[in-house]
Amino acid sequence: MKQNAFIAGIGMTRFGKHLDRGLKSLAGEAITAALADAGLSASDLNAAYMGNAAAGVITGQVCVPGQMILRSMGIGGIPVVNVENACSTAATAFQQAATMITAGMYDVVLACGFEKLYHEDKQKTFSVFSGAVDVEAMDGVLAGISKSIAACGGSHDSSGSGKSRSLFMDIYAAWALEHMQRYGTTREQFAAVSAKNSEHGSLNPKAQFRSKISVEEVLDAREIAWPLTLPMCSPIGDGAAAVILVSERKARELGTARMVRVEASQLHSGWDYTEGEETVAEKAAREIYETAALGPSDLDCVELHDASAPSEILYYEYLGLCAKGDGGKFVEDGHSSLGGRLPVNTSGGLMRKGHPIGATGIAQIVELTQQLRGEAGDRQVEGARIALAENGGGFIGNDAAAMVLTLLSR
């Protein structure tokens, strides 16, 4: 939907392994930074949308994670909405917060995503991802993955799914093989995504991984699920990201010099479509471009959901950044690199910045806000004025269960 909200403040932790920190510590750091960046105090908040996906499994905190965090900061009395929507949790919290401001309900709203995924028992961590599909049809999910891989001439050993690797890596492996078979995409092109994002992540002080890796190093790394190697897969992580959204009236009161406008932000769910229909990402992209009267050619930078290297290539195409089947060539030719035609995942993306699933969507917004403000440092996209974030989550049927797209402008 068309929005009329403004980003006044942003904050996030460094993503990574934080076994010694709890959700209060991580979220508190991000929220405090966002309020300071906006020049506001906790008493200015009218409401809060708090996103978390895994606390019930990893820490045992259920039902009131947002209230638990905010009360520890002395924040109470305001409406607090807890949001859980798989990997698009934080983006959904952001979309809901912006929508309530646009509707005229509030002037100052906090949207925060926070997550802990690291646990001494890796099975707990993997179970979070296994729970992001239809668990009552798990046999069918695994059979569907095997069928897709077999149709591409491969074989699928499901014994490690959800045990030695995230179930989603099997899903992404199937996507990769299908794209390779249909369009001739190569493993080298998938590896180019990982190498490109490592270059970007090396410039981001908040990224989980800051070392650069080459295409050859990606290909030589440990195999996770053919054709994917470890650097082609997003890692688990802990962290938090927060945004302060304000109304147009409040933006004028505070001063608009550093404000970023939310042009549109839309939440979609997948459906049981047939072969040849639009995917949820394609439908969401078409609708948000129409809503904002903008198109792919207007974009200056994009943060998209590269939960795997093949995912990034697919979303180039779904978002209209290139033609169907040209995603591999798009990255190979440097178009999505800093200095290229349309830089994608200047933060390092999920694969290098990290992927604490409940925080990821707002972390994308933080990166794009820095780009549009001209405050991204060594990874700055020159003259960035319009940016797009895409954040998908879960898997039901043959596509993402939830999808949020957001268009921002300076």
pLDDT for 164: 84
pLDDT for 398: 86
Q: Identity (one letter) of the amino acid at 249?
A: R
Burial 285-318 (b: 16+ CB within 10 A, else e): beebbebbebeeeebbbbbbbbbbbbbbbbbbbb
Question: Are 101 and 60 contained in the same domain?
Answer: yes
Q: Which of 122, 100, 120, 118 is nearest to 109 (CA)?
A: 100
Which one of the listed residues 18, 87, 156, 322 is annotated catalytic?
87
pLDDT for 354: 97
Q: pTM of the entire structure?
A: 0.97
Q: Tokens 């933080």 identify what position?
A: 366
pLDDT (mean) for 128-157: 93
For a pLDDT cut of 90, what percent of the chain falls above it? 95
Question: Rounded distance, CA 43 to CA 40, Å?
Answer: 8
Question: Are 215 and 228 contained in the same domain?
Answer: yes
Q: Which domain holds residue 316?
A: 138-232+264-409
Question: Are 218 and 251 contained in the same domain?
Answer: no
- Mean residue pLDDT of the chain comes to 97
Question: Rounded distance, CA 49 to CA 166, Å?
Answer: 28
Rounded to 5 degrees, φ, ψ at 365 are -65, -40
How many separate domains does the chain show? 2
Do residues 352 and 79 touch, judged by C-beta distance below 8 A? no
Helix axes 309-318, 187-201, angle to 10 degrees: 90
Question: Are 209 and 253 contained in the same domain?
Answer: no
Residue 14 resides in a domain: yes
Lowest average pLDDT, out of 27-36, 85-94, 272-281, 289-298, goes to 272-281
Question: Are 167 and 312 contained in the same domain?
Answer: yes
Residue 131 resides in a domain: no
268 as an active site residue: the answer is no
Q: Radius of gyration of the chain from Cα atoms?
A: 20
CATH number of 156's domain = 3.40.47.10
pLDDT over 90 (residue 157): no
Element at 290 (helix H, strand E): helix 280-292
Residue 39 resides in a domain: yes
Confidence of residue 275 (pLDDT cuts 50, 70, 90): confident
Give the Å distances, CA to CA, from 103 to 93, 107, 387. Answer: 15, 10, 23
Half-sphere exposure of residue 396: CA atoms within 13 angstroms, side-chain side: 18
Residue 130 resides in a domain: no
Question: Are 285 and 171 contained in the same domain?
Answer: yes
Question: Are 241 and 271 contained in the same domain?
Answer: no
Residue 250 resides in a domain: yes
Residue 126 resides in a domain: no
pLDDT over 90 (residue 274): no
pLDDT over 90 (residue 156): no
Instruction: For residue 380, give the 3-state DSSP assignment.
Output: coil
Question: Are 226 and 326 contained in the same domain?
Answer: yes
How far, in whole angstroms, is CA 409 from its chain's centroid? 19
pLDDT for 301: 98
Lowest average pLDDT, out of 43-47, 162-166, 184-188, 286-290, goes to 162-166
233 as an active site residue: the answer is no
Question: Are 354 and 277 contained in the same domain?
Answer: yes
Element at 4 (helix H, strand E): strand 2-12
Question: Are 257 and 318 contained in the same domain?
Answer: no
Question: Are 250 and 205 contained in the same domain?
Answer: no
pLDDT for 162: 84
Strands (E), 216-285: 223-225, 228-229, 239-246, 260-269
pLDDT for 30: 98
pLDDT for 335: 98
Question: Are 244 and 113 contained in the same domain?
Answer: yes
Which one of the listed residues 156, 200, 305, 355 is annotated catalytic?
355
Q: Tokens 């030719």 identify what position?
A: 333
